[in-house]
Amino acid sequence: MTPADPNPPQTFDVDAALAALESALAPLIAADPEAVMVGVETGGAWIAERLHAHFGLAAPLGTLNISFYRDDFSTIGLHPSVGPSRIDADIDGKTVILVDDVLYTGRTVRAALNELFDYGRPAAVKLAVLVDRGARELPFAPDAVGLQLDIARGERIKLTGPEPLRLIMQ
């Protein structure tokens, strides 16, 4: 028999956060039904896939691999693995809804914008995040949020998936 973990990770209701994000995005999409949705790999792409299906957007769903533009490998311990992005819709002059799972420092958003602008010049970029955990280092604010948290810098919140999606704080 293994002993129970004295500090099990805290989990959050992904379905409730996703429903709140859908509600926050609804007016943005109603105002521009031709918007192009793009998810940041990997968690943002999982969320974007669900949002894209929920709203029935006409433009194909895009994904961004931002590995080439990351500036924090030494800080977060990642090893760059540059993969392909896929945006099959023309984004020039369009509203792009950029979707990510967790907004923290803003560095992922900066990297995503750099990659996105390699594909064209959108009229506007709207940021949708499942979780905004605060403590920004760069001046980005989401246009739509599913769950707002105020957690300490030493704590991490992570989306795992894709099936099932789980939000875990470590």
**Which tens digits make up the pLDDT trace of 11-56?**
999 999 999 999 999 999 999 999 999 999 999 999 999 999 999 9
pTM: 0.90
Give backbone dihedrals phi and psi of 69, rounded to 5 degrees, phi first: -100, 0
Q: Give, to the nearest 10 degrees, the angle between helix 43-55 and helix 14-31.
A: 60
Domains (ranges, CATH) in the chain? 10-72+89-169 (3.40.50.2020)
pLDDT at position 13, please? 95
Cβ–Cβ under 8 Å, residues 51 and 41: no
Per-residue pLDDT of 71-96, as tens digits, reads 555 454 555 556 789 999 999 999 99
| 167 band by pLDDT with thresholds 50, 70 and 90 | very high
Contact between residue 110 and residue 127 where contact means Cβ atoms under 8 Å apart: no
Give 144's pLDDT tier (boundaries 50, 70, 90): very high
